[in-house]
Amino acid sequence: MGKKGILAVVSGFSGSGKGTLMKELMSRYPQTYALSVSATTRSPREGEEEGREYFFKTKEDFEKMIAKDELIEYAKYVENYYGTPRAYVEKKLDEGMDVILEIEIQGALKVRERFPDTLLLFVTPPTAEELRARLIGRGTETMDVIKSRLDRACEEAKGMGAYDYLIVNDDLNDCVEKMHAIIQGEHQRSSRNEEFMRKIKEDLNSLKGED
Amino acid sequence: MGKKGILAVVSGFSGSGKGTLMKELMSRYPQTYALSVSATTRSPREGEEEGREYFFKTKEDFEKMIAKDELIEYAKYVENYYGTPRAYVEKKLDEGMDVILEIEIQGALKVRERFPDTLLLFVTPPTAEELRARLIGRGTETMDVIKSRLDRACEEAKGMGAYDYLIVNDDLNDCVEKMHAIIQGEHQRSSRNEEFMRKIKEDLNSLKGED
């Protein structure tokens, strides 16, 4: 049951450690999860590799992808495009792998519009106090830096309620296992197993017919 | 987060092994789960103990409990009442324990009407073939017995879609752990953590005020 992969979007507060969390999830369960790689028109930074951090595209190529509906969602930040290529996601889902997208709330909501079964996970520190500590830092940041982090966190917090689950990042190990348990548990949602239920009902009816 | 207990109703096909499953869940996680004991007006059978299998009540006492709204749900089968006493459930939930009710679909839906956060779990054999095998037995059952099992299973199957999760009972050990993972994962649903989200938003706003 629930053989088709689940599309899971992971977002979270900046500094919630979700990058590390994703890497650990992939390395523990490489047969279960596939991490979607975004396409972008921004230039590669030192150490970044084509197809690992991003698929690097020219603006022209990216706009062709948009026109041909090859992206599940895309957005423009500071003159650069970022988007999620559709082909890879659909291929992995069909293979039965759970696909993880690490994107922000606007993208998350667009993905869910397109794939209503998308699971939305939001990574957060365990308490408001800890979030506060991460935002303020050690008192060595300028007011401007803190203000811009606060603004961003406020924006992120506004969207939290739209997510299905909050993943509390207290301890990396626990957090990876919690995320794994939640995604695997979702495979057993009855709404994801319509075919299984239909088959059982059909079988029972045909057994009654044989009486 | 998610400190308040979850009320989980477990139903399933007859012979799906849910009784054994419940016992095993309780014995592995006695600090986490409390099993609700039903009240009934039927007579105790040999080996049954007051407060363990059931709370045994006279018809008069049971009807008083109904009148005083002391039952979350109740039903009458073959001249006997069966119902779920409210006080125990609410006490355990407030203590932060997850409370399990093992009742049938009609009761499950009544409970959810009253407590909209109720989690509904349905225990099923892994395949329609296996359900069929369990219903037909080893060829030693009379047609009447098989027919009555089939009728009952058809009724049970009709309600399956109303449940949140299907718990596939393939292997007892796996099944107990799956059920545990699902209930514990549910504690992290954002809809069960409104207070946590409100607190984070409030803290962020008061930090902005301090700028």
- Report the complex ipTM: 0.86
What is the value of pTM for the model shown? 0.89
- Order of all β-strands in the sheet with B33-35: B33-35, B98-102, B7-12, B119-124, B165-168
Q: What pLDDT sits at residue A166? A: 95
Q: Of A126, A123, A94, which is closest to residue A108 (Cα–Cα)? A: A123
Distance CA A159, CA A49 (A): 31
Q: How many CB atoms lie within 10 A of CB B161?
A: 15
pLDDT given for residue A148 in this prediction:
84
Considering only residues 178 to 197 of chain A, which have any Cβ-Cβ distance to chain B shorter than 8 Å? Answer: 178, 181-182, 184-185, 188-190, 193-194, 196-197
For every one of its 211 residues, what pLDDT tens digit does chain B have, with 9 covering 90 and above?
Answer: 657 899 999 999 887 888 899 999 999 999 999 999 999 999 999 999 999 889 999 999 999 999 999 999 999 988 999 999 999 999 999 999 999 999 988 899 999 999 999 999 999 988 877 887 887 777 777 888 888 888 888 888 999 999 999 998 989 999 999 999 999 999 999 999 999 999 999 988 887 776 5
Q: What is the mean pLDDT of residues A7-19?
A: 89
Residues of chain B with C-beta less than 8 angstroms from the C-beta of A193 = 166
Distance from CA of B3 to the nearest CA of A (A): 13
The pLDDT of residue A78: 83
To the nearest whole angstrom, how far is the Cα of A72 from the nearest Cα of chain B? 25
Query: Contact A93/A76 with Cβ under 8 angstroms?
Result: no
- Give CA–CA dist A20/A2, Å, rounded: 28
pLDDT digits (tens, 9 = 90+) for A122-142: 999 888 778 878 877 777 778
B160–A197: do the CB atoms touch at under 8 Å? yes
At residue A172 the predicted structure's pLDDT band, cuts being 50, 70 and 90, is very high
Residues of chain A with pLDDT > 70, as a percent, come to 98
Q: A188, B197: Cβ pair inside 8 Å?
A: no
Across the range A94-117, mean pLDDT stands at 93
Closest alpha carbon within chain B to A146: B211
Domains and CATH numbers, chain A: 7-36+98-210 (3.40.50.300)
